[in-house]
Amino acid sequence: MALHDENVVWHAHPVTPQQREQRHGHRGVVLWFTGLSGSGKSTVAGALEEALHKLGVSTYLLDGDNVRHGLCSDLGFSDADRKENIRRVGEVANLMVDAGLVVLTAFISPHRAERKMVRERVGEGRFIEVFVDTPLATCEARDPKGLYKKSAGG
């Protein structure tokens, strides 16, 4: 099936995003945490999700490693696959925003163009980018996945 097949149409649903947001008591939004491997993106996003949840905010955390176990399990780490990984996550995040959720994401996502693609899909004012600015030396010392050690070894 072609991406924009004429037989595939968008269906408007009777419950609007505004009604969903009213039910939740807040707007749907994406908080996009980006930074180096080992910078603490998942840790910070997880702590924020827990705090928001305790306040009664409807949240969901999309973590880079977790989505590669299911949604993106067929993707590798080529440039094309990395871009597709972010595109898929952006689509899921957009659906969750439409549902009225505060979506926290934790992805390395080093390319501005890919973050821009998601920002445009979600909509300005509903995408907040958070750069977890951890010094490279700290990330290398943490190296939870052994990526820096592997890189240094050639």
Q: Would you name the residues annotated as active-site residues?
A: 109
Asked if 61 and 52 count as a contact pair (C-beta separation under 8 A), the reply is no
What pairs with residue 60 in β-bridges? 103
Alpha-carbon distance of 10 to 68, in angstroms, equals 28
Distance CA 83, CA 85 (A): 5
- Cα separation values, 125 from 38, 46, 80, 94, 134, Å: 28, 22, 28, 13, 26
